[in-house]
Amino acid sequence: MELPDFMSYANKFSQSDFVEKISRVAKRAGSKLVYAALILFYTLQSNKTSVKDKAIIVGALGYLISPLDVMPDAIPIVGLSDDLAVLIYVLKMVWTDVDPEVKERAQKKLKDWFDDEEISEIDTLFE
């Protein structure tokens, strides 16, 4: 799958829209998508993150939030696959700079929506 120009979605991002979207689609989206989104969201909030990385993260999270994307989220099963692809792509770009505390915070937040078995899926995040 070819990735869309997710940076054009940077203006779609807001913290409140992100929280609302994740809360609404968490179970349907799956733990991998939610974990990737949370890591990017928490990394965005860190003062250790470069301006360049923040700009890329805002584009990816804006793409996630936007109802207008390559595969509309309302399409069962495949609707969120493009969102996951964008999040994973950006997460790979910034992964070496992600603070271990951010990963831990994201894992703890997953427990709001997923059981331990579902959370174990994040072990294969990049597969």
Write the DSSP symbol of residue 2: P
pLDDT of residue 25: 86
Tell me the pLDDT of the chain (127 aa) as tens digits.
566 688 888 888 999 999 998 998 888 889 999 999 999 999 999 999 999 999 999 999 999 988 777 666 666 567 788 889 999 999 999 999 999 999 999 999 999 999 999 999 999 999 8
Q: Global pTM?
A: 0.87
- Using N-to-C axis directions, what is the helix angle for 51-65 and 15-29, rounded to 10°? 60
Dihedral-angle region of residue 77 (phi above 0 means left; psi in -120 to 50 means alpha; beta otherwise): left
Residue 33 token pair: 């998508």
